């Protein structure tokens, strides 16, 4: 092993039922570098990482870690941690019902002389760790009381504190806002300077160029190549990931905004609120209109949508759908009024992991029909096949369990679930989070297309640029309150200004 190399993987292969997830992949990580692992959904990034961390048993190949003689074969994340490989995953894998401090030290609690857990010491140490990272939390509070972003940072803090040689960050930034991302980058650079090798998996190209030294690209389970960052400009990276040149996202054309004004109202909310999450807000959405909700993470973006959909039952206010005043007590009421909602937390509120792709797709449609009017098996298969084609879900077959698909494909399954119900009003909460660019542009195109069919879309995203591309109008959220709307001069700068604060807009 070379002097400065901390981890090498040679010829790693791995098969899932029906899918060759990795074939003969090499990977090298050096001391003190931030190494981006890039590839589209299903390219094998997550699988490779799970091989490194012992979650997956790879079939062939060898992994070597600096300071350990002989090949390393991890059988659990604990094994991996013992050889110095720590991981923070895309979806936070901590225990929400334990305190922040307990989460930081779970499995390695400091002990008193009596062999009981030394609570005082670990609370103190935890607070120190979090303070050093500049994360404002009370470590004695349960993790579930904090936002997804904070939970993510706790996960990173935990990994960092375990004095790892290799830190793997799998989509750590997909739920962080810009400021938090910058904080994370500062931390990553500091760790790099200390000699930690960092593997960084992300879909955000800007972030790769902002912080990484080297890039390894995977495509369809195979290694495309390893490049120093200077030798791989952005266009080439995209080309390497997709295996072709990207016809730019810019080709998506917005519906002309002028038409919308004459169209009828689909949704009209007055003074809707949900205690504790969102203050009373008004919003009008016309037929064929795409309305974006912009705001920082935790500003009430999702909560606004949830109050309309009945995911959190509105406490006050009135809601008109198609001109008629309605009462929505739970999601099924909203669905019967022609609504659908793709929630932002795919794992917790989206997929039914152990059911097949087919069942996941027809679930909402079946729920709308009611328990006693079962769709025939033939009909179910027809619908599943149609949407697998339409949104291009990569799955061995419709009977594959949805949990075996990659994250982006799972997201497409949920999208298919709602398209199958043929909704008039669709709420898409972060539909492109953790999804590769190719799919992102597909989803954006789909949004514009749905709107042109006269459907109304409420689109929530952390990426302002993608909302700019698709939205006719944007609602601006700040601190659990809708503070204004922008319907002309939609530019990145204007939206940022509006989010950042100042005067209330009309």
Partner 1 sequence: MNNKSVLTRIKNWNLLLPVVSLLLVMAVNIIHDAAIGANPLSFFMITLRQTTGNGTILYGRIIDILNRGSEVAILAIGMTLVVSSSAGTDISVGSVMSLCASFCCMLLAGYGVSSTTTLAVPLIVGILGGIFIGVLCGMFNGTLVAYFHIQPMVATLILFSAARAIGLLLCNDLIVYVRNEAFGFFGGYIGVIPTAFVIAALCIIVTSLFLKKTAMGMYIQSVGINPKASRIAGLNSKRMIFMTYTVCGLFAGIAGIVAASRITSADSNNIGLYFEMDAILSVALGGNSLGGGKFSLAGSIIGAYTIQAITTTLYALGVSSTQAPVFKAIIVILIVAIQAPPLRAFFKRRSAAKQVKGAAV
Pairing of strands 5-16, 60-65: antiparallel
Q: How far is the CB of 379 from partner 1 (least distance, A)?
A: 12
Residue 217's nearest CA partner among 197, 195, 201, 230 is 201
Q: How far is the CB of 446 from partner 1 (least distance, A)?
A: 19
- Phi, psi values for residue 45, rounded to 5°: -60, -55
Q: How far is the CB of 344 from partner 1 (least distance, A)?
A: 11
Among 331, 338, 408, 431, binds partner 1 (CB under 8 A): 331
Interaction between residue 372 and partner 1 (CB under 8 A)? yes
Interaction between residue 311 and partner 1 (CB under 8 A)? yes
DSSP-derived secondary structure letter, 230 = G
Q: For residue 338, what are the contacts with CB-CB under 8 A and spacing of at least 6? A: 321, 322, 423, 424, 425
What is d(CA 477, CA 127) in angstroms, rounded to the nearest whole number? 31
What is d(CA 177, CA 462) in angstroms, rounded to the nearest whole number? 7
Interaction between residue 352 and partner 1 (CB under 8 A)? yes
Among 68, 205, 249, 332, binds partner 1 (CB under 8 A): 332
Region near partner 1 per CB under 8 A, out of 41-49, 231-239, 279-287, 352-360? 352-360
Q: How far is the CB of 196 from partner 1 (least distance, A)?
A: 34
Interaction between residue 70 and partner 1 (CB under 8 A)? no
What x-and-dash track marks residues 86-105 binding partner 1 by CB under 8 A? --------------------
Burial 302-339 (b: 16+ CB within 10 A, else e): bbbbbbbbbbbebeeeebebeeeeeebeebeebbebbb
Q: Closer CB to partner 1, residue 239 or residue 352?
A: 352
- Contact between residue 297 and residue 176 where contact means Cβ atoms under 8 Å apart: yes
Q: Closer CB to partner 1, residue 275 or residue 336?
A: 336
Q: Closer CB to partner 1, residue 286 or residue 417?
A: 417
Interaction between residue 374 and partner 1 (CB under 8 A)? yes
Interaction between residue 292 and partner 1 (CB under 8 A)? no
Interaction between residue 433 and partner 1 (CB under 8 A)? no
Q: Closer CB to partner 1, residue 39 or residue 408?
A: 408
Among 330, 422, 453, 492, binds partner 1 (CB under 8 A): 330
What x-and-dash track marks residues 196-215 binding partner 1 by CB under 8 A? --------------------
Interaction between residue 371 and partner 1 (CB under 8 A)? yes
Residue 142's nearest CA partner among 94, 93, 83, 206 is 94
Among 54, 350, 398, 480, binds partner 1 (CB under 8 A): 350
Cα 112–chain centre separation: 40
> Residue 72 is encoded by which pair of tokens?
């390393």
DSSP-derived secondary structure letter, 401 = B
> Residue 74 is encoded by which pair of tokens?
């991890």
DSSP-derived secondary structure letter, 349 = I
Residue 430's nearest CA partner among 298, 267, 321, 249 is 298
Region near partner 1 per CB under 8 A, out of 102-110, 138-146, 343-351, 498-506? 343-351
Among 184, 314, 364, 405, binds partner 1 (CB under 8 A): 364
Q: Closer CB to partner 1, residue 59 or residue 132?
A: 59
Among 341, 383, 391, 498, binds partner 1 (CB under 8 A): 341
Interaction between residue 399 and partner 1 (CB under 8 A)? no
Q: Count CA within 13 A, CB hemisphere, residue 246.
A: 21
User: What are the distances in angstroms from CA 485 to CA 234, 379, 494, 495?
Assistant: 34, 43, 11, 10
Interaction between residue 363 and partner 1 (CB under 8 A)? yes
Region near partner 1 per CB under 8 A, out of 92-100, 256-264, 342-350, 436-444? 342-350
Interaction between residue 257 and partner 1 (CB under 8 A)? no
Among 106, 111, 190, 348, binds partner 1 (CB under 8 A): 348
Interaction between residue 156 and partner 1 (CB under 8 A)? no
Q: How far is the CB of 418 from partner 1 (least distance, A)?
A: 9
Q: How far is the CB of 430 from partner 1 (least distance, A)?
A: 14
3-class secondary structure, 246? coil
Interaction between residue 353 and partner 1 (CB under 8 A)? yes
Q: Closer CB to partner 1, residue 101 or residue 311?
A: 311
Interaction between residue 499 and partner 1 (CB under 8 A)? no
User: What are the distances in angstroms from CA 76 to CA 6, 50, 72, 327?
Assistant: 20, 10, 12, 49
3-class secondary structure, 51? helix
What is d(CA 72, CA 60) in angstroms, rounded to the nearest whole number? 12
Q: Which helix (H) or strand (E) holds 481?
A: strand 481-486
Q: Which helix (H) or strand (E) holds 478?
A: strand 473-478
What is d(CA 312, CA 292) in angstroms, rounded to the nearest whole number? 20
Residues that bind partner 1 (CB under 8 A): 311, 330-332, 335, 341, 343, 348-355, 359, 363-364, 366-375, 417
């Amino acid at each position: 092993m070379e002097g400065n190399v901390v981890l090498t993987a040679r010829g790693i292969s791995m098969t899932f039922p029906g899918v060759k997830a990795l074939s003969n992949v090499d990977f090298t990580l050096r001391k003190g570098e931030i190494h981006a692992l890039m590839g589209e959904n299903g390219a094998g990034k997550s699988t490779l990482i799970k091989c490194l961390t012992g979650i997956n048993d790879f079939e062939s190949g060898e992994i070597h870690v600096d300071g350990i003689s002989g090949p390393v074969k991890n059988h659990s994340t604990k094994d991996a941690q013992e050889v110095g490989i720590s991981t923070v995953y895309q979806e936070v894998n901590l225990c929400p019902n334990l305190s922040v401090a307990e989460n930081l030290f779970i499995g390695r609690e400091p002990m008193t002389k009596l062999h009981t857990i030394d609570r005082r010491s670990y609370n103190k140490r935890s607070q120190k760790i979090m303070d050093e990272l500049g994360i404002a939390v009370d470590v004695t509070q349960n993790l579930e009381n904090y936002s997804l972003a904070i939970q993510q940072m706790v996960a990173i803090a935990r990994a960092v504190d375990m004095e790892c040689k290799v830190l793997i960050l799998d989509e750590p930034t997909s739920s962080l806002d810009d400021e938090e991302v910058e904080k994370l980058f500062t931390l990553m650079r500091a760790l790099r300077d200390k000699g930690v090798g960092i593997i960084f998996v992300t879909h955000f190209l800007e972030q790769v160029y902002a912080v990484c030294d080297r890039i390894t690209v995977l495509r369809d389970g195979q290694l495309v190549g390893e490049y120093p960052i200077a030798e791989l400009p952005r266009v080439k990276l995209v080309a390497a990931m997709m295996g072709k040149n990207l016809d730019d996202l810019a080709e998506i054309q917005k519906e002309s905004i002028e038409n919308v004004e004459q169209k009828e109202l689909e949704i009209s909310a007055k003074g809707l609120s949900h205690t504790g999450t969102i203050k009373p807000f008004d919003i009008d959405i016309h037929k064929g209109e795409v309305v974006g909700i912009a705001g920082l993470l935790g500003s009430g973006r999702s909560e606004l949508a949830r109050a309309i959909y009945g995911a959190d039952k509105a406490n006050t206010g009135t809601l008109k759908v198609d001109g008629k005043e309605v009462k929505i007590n739970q999601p099924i009421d909203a669905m019967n009024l022609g609504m659908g909602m793709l929630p932002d937390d795919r794992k917790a509120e989206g997929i039914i992991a152990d059911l097949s792709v087919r069942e996941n797709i027809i679930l909402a449609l079946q729920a709308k029909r009611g328990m006693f009017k079962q769709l025939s098996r033939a009909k179910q298969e027809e619908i599943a096949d149609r949407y697998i084609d339409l949104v291009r879900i990569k799955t061995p077959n419709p009977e594959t369990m949805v949990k075996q698909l990659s994250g982006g494909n799972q997201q497409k399954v949920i999208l298919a679930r709602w398209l199958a119900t043929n909704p008039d009003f669709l709420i898409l909460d972060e539909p492109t989070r953790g999804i590769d660019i190719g799919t992102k542009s597909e989803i954006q195109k789909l949004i514009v297309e749905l709107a042109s069919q006269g459907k109304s879309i409420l689109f929530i995203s952390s990426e302002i640029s993608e909302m700019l591309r698709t939205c006719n109008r944007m609602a601006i959220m700040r601190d659990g309150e809708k503070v204004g709307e922008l319907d002309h001069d939609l530019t990145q700068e204007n939206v940022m200004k509006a989010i950042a604060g100042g005067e209330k807009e009309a």
